[in-house]
Structure 1
Amino acid sequence: MSKKKAFPDINSLVRKNILTMKPYSSARDEFKGEADIYLDANENPYPSPYNRYPDPLQRRVKEELAAVREVRPEQIFLGNGSDEAIDLIIRAFCEPNQDSILITEPTYGMYSVCAEVNAVNVQQVLLTPDFDLDLDAFPKTFDATTKVIFLCSPNNPTGNLLSRDKILEVLKRFYGLVVIDEAYIDFAKGKSFLQELDKYPNLVVLQTFSKAWGLAGLRLGMCFASEAIINVLNKIKYPYNVNIRTQELALDAIENRHVMEDAVKQIVQQRTRVIKALEKLRITEKVFPTDSNFVLVRVQDAPATYKYLLDQKIIVRDRSRVVLCYNCLRITIGTAGENDRLINALEEL
């Protein structure tokens, strides 16, 4: 990769029309605090749990979350799943029909989907055979149009953490934004990149309430970055993108985060058990190392194995058509009873 450059002001990377636009100002943006009578937002005045609009900036959730993640509330964006943050990052920093993002295949599919929806080009770099970054391939792929690099770590569908040293090298050398998607970080022994936010102004870290927190149905994603980047995302998001009930349940989950921590311990224990069982199967060719709540396993005939499990009413993901994942199944770690059924079914195959 090229020599390190001095990173510019974030605003120099933002699309010019986004930079100059006047954002929508809701009633709850203009008034912050408590009052006796609210006649400013055209709400139904008769009391119910949800007759009022939610806080558009989710201030209470951010304050509690900031303490847990050891960041500042101003460094947090909350969205309708991490997918909203992914879409907004591309929309804010990439000119349609002109700019590009870079992804490392195989990886999470929504990066390319969001890019295509926004008419942004997708550049691809293959991971190495052991699913790590190939730094030698990066300068051969990105160019002056590349505005955002997406790195999924732990990676989906492979499950492994990417090399921390290699990610740091990308952060030091790349001129645009580096987005590290840590959706599965709570299951990993490696450290989050949140502690690097103040050191790298181009760093964005994604996390989620969907995995370890067990709140996939709420659709609440976390995005951590410099205040300058967060301000850009807040400028273009929908006014009330996180509803009141989601904010309430998120606060409850944070307050009772021991529930999440206990679940993570159980899942990690079951992960070890499932891996050992998979390694003993006749059909198994390789079980890949994992730092997530799932395992990628190469079998003799993935489509046939998938169909067999489907007949047993057990659903896994057939990833055999994904690059570098030929004949691979991605298996989420379930409860002890669910894992029993999976293992017993595969042992009978």
Structure 2
Amino acid sequence: MSTINTLLREDLRAFAGYQSARSTALAGDVWLNANESAWANAADIGAQLRRYPQPQPPALRDALAQLYAVAPEQVLIGRGSDEAIDLLVRAFCAPGQGRVVIAAPVFGMYAVCAKLHGAQVIDVPLHDSDTGLSADLGAIGDAALAQHATLVFLCSPGNPSGELLPLDAIADLAGRLRGRCMVVVDEAYLDYVDAPSATQLLPMLDNIAVLRTLSKAHALAGARVGCVLGSRVLIEALRRCQAPYPVPQPVAVEALAALAPQVLALTRSRVEVVREARARLQAGLTRLSCVQRVYASAGNFLLVRFVDADAAFTALLSAGVVVRDMRAMPQLQNALRITVGTQDECRRVLAALEPVSEVRV
């Protein structure tokens, strides 16, 4: 039995899921199998919305597979990374019984999905040191084994820490947990750093799942397109747990257009702009005396500790600049997260903070 079937909820191993009208490939020119309207809505320009969409649009799946260097059968498209996280929790944690390991402060949806499912959240906190907020993968492995967890969520680059996890360390952790626990690597921000993806580990380790999204670098946050990358057995299991039509037809068309070669080239050039702007913004923030610390980041954001985070947050809001208040998260009582915007937007951040700070000489 594969690792996936060993860890999958026992009651889901033979579960077929819902078989929708688009689940099987059928040919015909009169479609009367899905109880759809015989007429398009008068507001439906192009008459594309009266039919249910493909559950996994083949062209989009192929394009994502090419983008992330995996086989199409290793891709499951969903409504952003949020749906992927929820599917993984539902598939590998029995309701009210499962255990999930996280390393806070981290993206909140891992814990939210676990708690909504009744799973126990085991936190192995990030360690704050001179090198930054760092995950202790050894301690995470210890906790997963001791608590009989079935899911570990890693975020690389970390949100909000900005930490990039070494691929060999992820491989060591997954190897240690193989047959015992799934290791989920959330790479939502990997586009912003020159580093290999954990998908390179998939041929050797079948207990790894990788999350990717078009919301960040590809600028499609409003379209809600993300995917799980993993073994064919994993993708088939998650598909059985997924709602029938996760990708609306207009969204699939827009996402496919965003993955055209000329569009991808522009996206990659803008990523380089963000990386340069990130360095400039970090340098500018570091010179402000109201700033206690700026963490190095491999994402499109900076985590910043302030002497007076309330004064900084208020000053930014007064200047029309909205940043993420992180003070409710563990270890971040004086921190704000600032997305790297355009050159002008970054200037506005620094200008807004100057009245509450003296620039260091």
Secondary structure of the structure 2 residue equivalent to 1:122 = strand
Residue identity opposite 1:77 in structure 2: L
Unaligned runs of 5+ in 2: 41-46, 357-361
Alignment match, 2:191: 186
CA distance in 2, matches of 1:123, 1:55: 37
Correspondence for 2:154 among 151, 165, 170 = 151
Question: In the alignment, is residue 36 of structure 1 matched against residue 29 of structure 2?
Answer: yes
Q: Secondary structure at the match of 2:122?
A: strand
Aligned to 1:85: 84
| Contact kept? 1:183, 1:207, Cα under 8 Å | yes
Letter of the 1:182 partner, please give it: E
Q: In the TM superposition, what whole-angstrom CA distance separates every residue of 1:321-342 from its partner, at most 9, and x where no partner exists?
A: 3223231111001111211211
Residues 133, 166 of structure 1: 8 Å contact kept? no
The corresponding residue for 2:134 is: 132
> Residue deviations 1:229-263, cap 9 Å, x none?
10011001010011101100010000121232122
Answer whether contact 1:153 1:181 (CA < 8 A) is retained: yes
Query: 1:306-326, CA deviations, whole angstroms, 9 ceiling, x for partnerless residues?
Result: 112112211111213322323
- Distance in 1 (alpha carbons) for counterparts of 2:166 and 2:67: 25
Q: How does 1:192-207 map to 2 (within 5 A)?
A: 192-207=197-212
Match of 1:15 in 2: 9
Provide Cα deviations, 1:20-66, integer angstroms capped at 9, x if missing partner: 2232111111234x532222222223351211111112211011121
Contact 1:133/1:163 (CA < 8 Å) preserved in 2?
no
Q: Secondary structure at the match of 1:296?
A: strand
Distance 1:263 1:139, change over 3 A: closer
**2-structure distance, mates of 1:83, 1:202:** 20
CA distance in 2, matches of 1:274, 1:166: 30
**Is the 8 Å Cα contact of residues 98 and 145 (structure 1) preserved in structure 2?**
no
1:193 is displaced (CA, Å) by: 1.0
More moved, 140-149 vs 243-252: 140-149
- Rounded to whole Å, the distance in 2 between the matches of 1:103 and 1:199 is 23
Q: Is structure 2 residue 318 aligned with structure 1 residue 325?
A: no
C-alpha separation between the residues in 2 aligned to 1:62 and 1:290?
A: 30
TM-score, reference length from structure 1: 0.94
How much has 1:295 moved relative to structure 2? Answer: 0.4
Alpha-carbon distance in 2 for matches of 1:320, 1:9: 39
Q: Does 1:262 align with 2:262?
A: no
Match of 1:166 among 140, 165, 169: 169
Instruction: Read off the aligned partner of 2:39 and give its amino acid letter.
Output: Y
**In the alignment, what sits opposite 1:212?**
217
CA distance in 2, matches of 1:135, 1:112: 18
| Corresponding residue to 1:141 among 133, 140, 143 | 143
SS at match of 1:126: coil
Q: Which moved more, 1:79-88 or 1:135-144?
A: 135-144
1:166 CA drift (Å): 2.3
Identity of aligned residues (%): 37
Distance in 1 between the 2:64 and 2:138 partners?
37
Q: CA offset at residue 139 of structure 1?
A: 5.0
User: Structure 2 length normalisation: TM-score?
Assistant: 0.91
Alignment-mate amino acid for residue 305 of structure 2 = R
Match of 1:314 in 2: 321
Gapped regions of structure 1 (runs ≥ 5):
1-6
What secondary structure sits across from 2:259 in the alignment? Answer: helix
Q: Provide the secondary structure at the position in 1 that maps to 2:13.
A: helix
1:130-187 Cα deviation digits (max 9, x unpaired): 2222244235523353000000010011112123332222111012100000000000
Give how far 1:98 is off.
1.8
**1:105-130 Cα distance to aligned partner (Å, 9 max, x none):** 11110000000110011001012212
1:65–1:138 CA distance, 2 compared to 1 (3 A): closer
Paired residue total = 342
2:253 is the counterpart of 1:248? yes
What root-mean-square deviation, in Å, do the aligned CA atoms of Structure 1 and Structure 2 show?
1.6
Kindly report which structure 2 residues correspond to 1:215-294, keeping only aligned pairs within 5 A, or say none: 215-255=220-260, 256-294=263-301
Give the 3 Å change call, closer, same or farther, for CA 140–66 of structure 1 in structure 2. Answer: closer
CA contact (8 A) 2:101 2:140 kept: no
**Residues 105, 126 of structure 1: 8 Å contact kept:** yes
